[in-house]
């Protein structure tokens, strides 16, 4: 059994989610110790438990320690099967991060996942970043991924619902050039209709001023259990998101998302900082290369974890950094 120290490097939920996914696709039993040991609230949180359950369902894994607060988790996978799975985070924990753990396993045989939780929450990509930036970056493998946002969910209530269906696909050879297109997605729940309009209008105007390009706008308004708003903007394999909060003008939300994208576009590299670590598991398995502005702590953590599973990634350069396998 491969023993993994969950407190090393980034020391967060990324290690748990990625370790169980790698365990499933390689057939390697793992034990993760000192889970999130250095966090203010150490141990597994609801979101991590939901991700483990989703992966376990796809490979009939034997799991021990998958409860909130647990500092130790063992995961013994069996054969991957095509399965329709449903998990409820139980909080506003990130739906996109749960999907990210499940997806590389589901691509082996296909299947579907229904997740309840938060579609747009802090310290996580929005569901729109996942659909418009991450999925296209997978190239042909992404063409068989369908995402249906049934209901938006915002912190602290959550209650969002997303269904993802996947067709079997070979692990993609990663090339950042496979992602194309740009856009603005402005969303709100239980707020006046003008909020999403104002977010989008400011993001569109800012991007036009700074890049000289028109970005197509899509608006999503909904009614759900919680109240909130978000703005996600993207261009190719780079994206940026911002969340609304009480007292923050809608224009500030749109500008924050747009300015984040402009900064990413002006930086070196083919992908943004967040995408740089999200693609590494696929790069290590399918080969390819891409560049990013810097070697982030999250990317360092993924490279370390992949090496434990015998999947080294070559990292070279500084500005930009190249990842190759």
Q: What is the pLDDT of residue 178?
A: 63
Cβ neighbour number for residue 38 with a 10 Å cutoff: 12
In tens digits, the chain (325 residues) has pLDDT values of 999 999 999 999 999 999 999 999 999 999 999 999 989 999 999 999 999 999 999 999 999 999 999 999 999 999 999 999 999 999 999 999 999 999 999 999 999 999 999 999 999 999 999 999 999 999 888 999 999 999 999 999 999 999 999 999 988 888 876 667 899 999 999 999 999 999 999 999 999 999 999 999 999 998 878 899 999 999 999 999 999 999 999 999 999 999 999 999 999 999 999 999 999 999 999 999 999 999 999 999 999 999 999 999 999 999 999 999 9
CA 130 to chain centre: 6
Is residue 35 exposed (0-12), middle (13-18) or buried (19+ Cβ within 10 Å)?
buried
Distance CA 19, CA 33 (A): 12
Domains of the chain with CATH codes: 1-79 (3.30.110), 182-266 (3.30.360.20)
Distance CA 189, CA 150 (A): 12
Q: How far is it, in rounded angstroms, from Cα 199 to Cα 251?
A: 5
> Is residue 298 among the annotated active site residues?
yes
Strand order in the sheet with 83-88: 83-88, 111-117, 160-166, 145-151
For 32, phi and psi rounded to 5 degrees? -105, 125
Q: Which of 48, 194, 274, 298 is catalytic?
A: 298
- For residue 177, the model assigns a pLDDT of 63
The pTM score is 0.96
């Amino acid at each position: 059994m491969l023993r993994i120290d969950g407190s090393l490097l980034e020391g967060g939920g990324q290690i748990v989610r990625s370790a169980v996914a790698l365990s499933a696709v390689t057939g390697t039993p793992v034990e993760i110790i000192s889970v999130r040991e250095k966090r203010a609230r150490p141990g597994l949180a609801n979101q991590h438990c939901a991700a483990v359950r989703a992966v376990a369902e796809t490979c009939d894994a034997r799991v021990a320690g998958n409860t909130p607060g647990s500092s130790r988790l063992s995961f013994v996978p069996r054969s991957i099967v095509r399965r329709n799975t449903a998990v409820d985070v139980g909080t506003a924990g990130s739906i996109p991060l749960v999907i990210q753990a499940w997806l590389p396993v589901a691509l082996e045989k296909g299947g579907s996942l229904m997740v309840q939780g938060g579609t747009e929450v802090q310290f996580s990509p929005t569901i729109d970043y996942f659909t418009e930036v991450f999925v296209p970056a997978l190239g042909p493998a992404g063409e068989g991924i369908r995402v249906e946002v049934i209901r938006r969910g915002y912190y602290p209530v959550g209650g969002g619902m997303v269904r993802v269906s996947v067709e079997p696909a070979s692990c993609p050879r990663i090339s950042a050039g496979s992602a194309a297109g740009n856009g603005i997605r402005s969303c709100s729940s239980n707020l006046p209709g003008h909020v999403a309009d104002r977010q989008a209008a400011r993001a569109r105007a800012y991007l036009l001023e700074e890049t000289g390009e028109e970005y197509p706008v899509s608006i999503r308004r909904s009614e759900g259990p919680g109240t909130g708003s978000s703005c996600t903007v993207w261009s190719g394999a780079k994206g940026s998101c911002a969340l609304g909060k009480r007292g923050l003008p809608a224009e500030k939300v749109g500008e924050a998302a747009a300015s984040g994208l402009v900064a990413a576009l002006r930086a070196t590299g083919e992908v943004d900082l967040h995408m740089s670590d999200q693609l590494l598991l696929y790069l290590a398995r399918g080969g390819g290369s891409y560049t990013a502005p810097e070697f982030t702590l999250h990317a360092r953590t993924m490279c370390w974890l992949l090496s434990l599973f015998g999947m080294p990634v070559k990292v070279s350069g500084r500005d930009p950094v190249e990842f190759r396998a």
